[in-house]
A and B are shown apart, each in its own frame.
Chain A
Amino acid sequence: MPTSNTVLHRAGAVRTGDPAAADPVTTEVIRHALNSAANQMKRALVRTAFSPVIYEVLDFAVAIYDPEMRLLAQAPSLPMFMGTLNFCVEEAVRNVGGTENLFPGDMIMYNWPYGTGSHPQDLAVVNPVFLDDGELIGYTAIKGHWLDIAGKDPYCTDTIDVFQEGTIYPGVKIYKKGELNDDIHRMVIANSRVPKFVAGDLNAQVVGCRVGATAFREVVGRFGRAEFLNSVENMFDHGERVVRSYFEKIPDGRYVASGEMDSDGISDEPIPFEIAVEVKGSDVRIDFSNAPESRPGPVNCPVPSTISCARVAITMLAGYGEAPHEGHFRAIEVVTRPGTMFHPLPPAPCFLYGWPADQAIEVIYKAIAAALPEAVPAQSGGCICSVVWWGTREKTGEPWADGSPHPVGQGAWKGGDGGTMLHISESATRFSPIEVWEAKNPWLMDRLALRQDSGGPGEWRGGAGVDFFFRMTEDIYITTVVERTRNAPWGLSGGGFAVPNGAAVRFPDGRLVPVPKTTRLAVPKGAVLELATGGGGGYGDPKARPREAVLADLEAGYISEEFAREHYPQAF
Chain B
Amino acid sequence: MATRIGVDIGGTFTDLVYYDEETGRTVEGKVPTVPSSPDEGVVDAVRRCVPKEVIERAEFFLHGTTVGLNALLERRGAKVGLITTAGFRDVLEIRRGDRAEMYNLFWKQPEPLVPRHLRLEVDERIRADGGVHRPLDEASVRTAVAALMAEGVDSIAVCLINAYANPAHEERVAAIVRDLGFAGSMSLSHRISGEYREYERTSTTVIDAFVRARMSGYLKRLDARLRELGFRGTSLITRSGSGSMTFGEAEDRPFETIMSGPVAGAQGASEIARMLDIEAMVTADVGGTSFDTALILGGEPQILYEGVIDNMPIQTPWVDVRSIGSGGGSIAHIDVGGLMRVGPRSAGAAPGPACYGKGGTEPAMTDAAAFLGMLGPGRLASGITLDIGRAETAIAPVAAAIGQNVEATAIGILRIAASSMANAMREVSVEQGLDPRRMVLLPFGGAGPLMATLLADELGMTRIVVPPLAGNFSAWGLLGADMVQSAARTKIMDLDDAGLAAAGDVLADLFREVAARGDHAVPETVRSGRLDLRYKGQEHWLSIDVPVAGDRFALTAAEIGAAFAEEYRRSFDAVLPGVVEIVSIRASERAPLPRRGEIAAATAAPAGAEEAFDAYSFTGKARLRFRVVPRAAIGEVLDGPAIVTESTATLYLDAGWTASAGRHGELVLQRRGA
Q: Chain A: residues with CB nearer than 8 A to chain B?
A: 23-29, 32-33, 36, 39-40, 43-44, 46-52, 55-56, 76, 79, 196-197, 200, 203, 207, 210-211, 215, 238-242, 245, 315-317, 319-324, 376-377, 405-407, 410, 413, 416-422, 424, 427-431, 433-436, 438-439, 444-450, 466, 469, 555-558
Give the residue name and chain of the B residue nearest to A238 (CB).
B337
Q: In the complex, which residues of chain B have a beta carbon less than 8 angstroms from the beta carbon of A377?
A: 105-106
Q: Are the CB atoms of A430 and B96 closer together than 8 Å? A: yes
**Interfacial residues of chain B within 633-660, with CB under 8 A of chain A in the complex:** none
Taken together as a complex, chains A and B put the C-alpha atoms of A76 and B572 apart, in Å, by 21
Whether the Cβ atoms of A55 and B88 lie closer than 8 Å is no
B116 touches A448 (CB 8 A): no
Which of B32-40, B48-56, B197-205, B548-556 lies at the interface?
B197-205
Q: Please determine whether B90 and A449 come into contact, CB atoms closer than 8 angstroms.
A: yes
Q: Is the CB of B539 within 8 A of A200?
A: no
Chain B residues in contact with chain A, CB under 8 A?
Answer: 86-91, 93-94, 96-99, 101-109, 115-117, 125, 127-128, 133, 161-162, 164, 196-200, 335-341, 402, 404, 411-412, 415-416, 419-420, 423, 426-427, 430-431, 492, 535, 537-540, 571-574, 576, 578
B109's partner among A52, A242, A419 (CB-CB below 8 A) is A419
B-chain residues with CB within 8 Å of residue A430 when the two chains form the complex: 96-98
Closest 5 CB pairs of A and B: A447-B87, A25-B412, A407-B97, A430-B96, A556-B116
Q: Which residue of A lies closest to B99 (CB)?
A: A427
Contact B98 A27 (CB under 8 A): no
Residues of A within 8 A of B492 (CB): 439
Q: How far is the CB of B138 from chain A (nearest CB, A)?
A: 21
Identify the interface centre among B106, B411, B427: most chain A CB within 10 Å of its CB: B106
Question: Cβ of B98 and Cβ of A55 under 8 Å apart?
Answer: no
Instruction: Flag if B537 contacts A448 (CB, 8 Å).
Output: no
A–B Cβ pairs within 8 angstroms, 12 of them:
A43-B431, A48-B538, A55-B539, A322-B103, A407-B94, A421-B97, A421-B98, A422-B97, A424-B99, A438-B127, A439-B196, A556-B116
In the complex, residue of chain A having the shortest beta-carbon distance to the beta carbon of B199: A433
B198 in contact with A428 (CB, 8 Å):
no
Pair B87/A446 contact, Cβ less than 8 Å: yes
Contacting A24 at CB < 8 Å: which of B115, B402, B576? B402
- CB < 8 Å neighbour of A427 from B102, B109, B199, B431: B102
Closest CB in chain B relative to A21 CB, distance in Å = 13
Q: How far is the CA of A21 from the CA of B73 in the complex (A)?
A: 45
CA–CA, A54 and B430, complex, Å = 21
Q: How far is the CB of A19 from chain B (nearest CB, A)?
A: 11
Asked whether, in the complex, the Cβ of A25 is within 8 Å of the Cβ of B415, the reply is yes
| Nearest residue, chain B, Cβ from A206 | B574
B128 partner residues in chain A, CB cutoff 8 A: 435, 438-439
Instruction: Please tell me which one of the listed residues A50, A438, A450 contacts residue B538 in the complex, with CB atoms under 8 A apart.
Output: A50
Q: How far is the CA of A317 from the CA of B103 in the complex (A)?
A: 8
Q: How far is the CB of A275 from chain B (nearest CB, A)?
A: 18
Instruction: Give Cα A26 to B133, complex, Å.
Output: 62
Main secondary structure of the interface of B (DSSP, over half): loop
Of B104, B416, B430, the contact of A321 (CB 8 Å cutoff): B104
How long is the Cα–Cα vector from A50 to B404 in the complex, in angstroms?
Answer: 51
Contact A428 B127 (CB under 8 A): no
Q: Given that A200-B538, A377-B106, A556-B116 are contacting pairs, would A422 and B99 also be in contact in the complex, using a CB cutoff of 8 Å?
A: yes
Q: How far is the CA of A354 from the CA of B419 in the complex (A)?
A: 38
Closest beta carbon of chain B to A169's beta carbon, Å:
21
Is A420 within 8 A of B572, CB to CB?
Answer: no
Query: Is the pair A435, B94 in contact by a Cβ cutoff of 8 Å?
Result: no
Given A28-B340, A50-B535, also A431-B97 (CB < 8 A): yes
Contact between B115 and A556 (Cβ–Cβ < 8 Å)? yes
User: B200: which A residues are within 8 A, CB to CB?
Assistant: 433
Give Cα A434 to B91, complex, Å: 10
Residues of B within 8 A of A207 (CB): 572-574
Least Cβ–Cβ distance between A526 and chain B, in angstroms: 13
Determine how close the nearest CB of chain A comes to the CB of B503; give it in whole angstroms: 16
Report Cα–Cα, A32/B342, bound state, in Å.
12
B539 in contact with A52 (CB, 8 Å): yes
CA distance A383 to B128 in the complex (A): 30
Q: Which residues of A contact B125 (CB under 8 A)?
A: 444
Give min CB distance, B541 to chain A, whole Å.
9
Distance from B418 Cβ to chain A, minimum over Cβ atoms (Å): 9
Residues of B within 8 A of A316 (CB): 103-105
CB A147 to nearest CB in B, in angstroms, measures 10
Q: Which of B104, B340, B420 contacts A25 (CB 8 A)?
A: B340
| Among A210, A447, A557, contact of B88 (Cβ-Cβ < 8 Å) | A447
Note all chain A residues with C-beta closer than 8 A to B431: 40, 43-44
Asked whether A420 and B339 contact (CB < 8 A) given A48-B572, A56-B539, the answer is: no
Q: How far is the CB of B516 from chain A (nearest CB, A)?
A: 25
- A187 to chain B minimum Cβ distance, whole angstroms, is 19
Q: How far is the CA of A216 from the CA of B96 in the complex (A)?
A: 32
CA A410 to CA B108, docked complex, whole Å = 9
Complex CA–CA separation, A488 to B88 (angstroms): 26
Q: B90, A448: Cβ atoms under 8 Å?
A: yes
Known: A28-B341, A241-B337, A421-B109. A200 touches B98 (CB 8 A): no
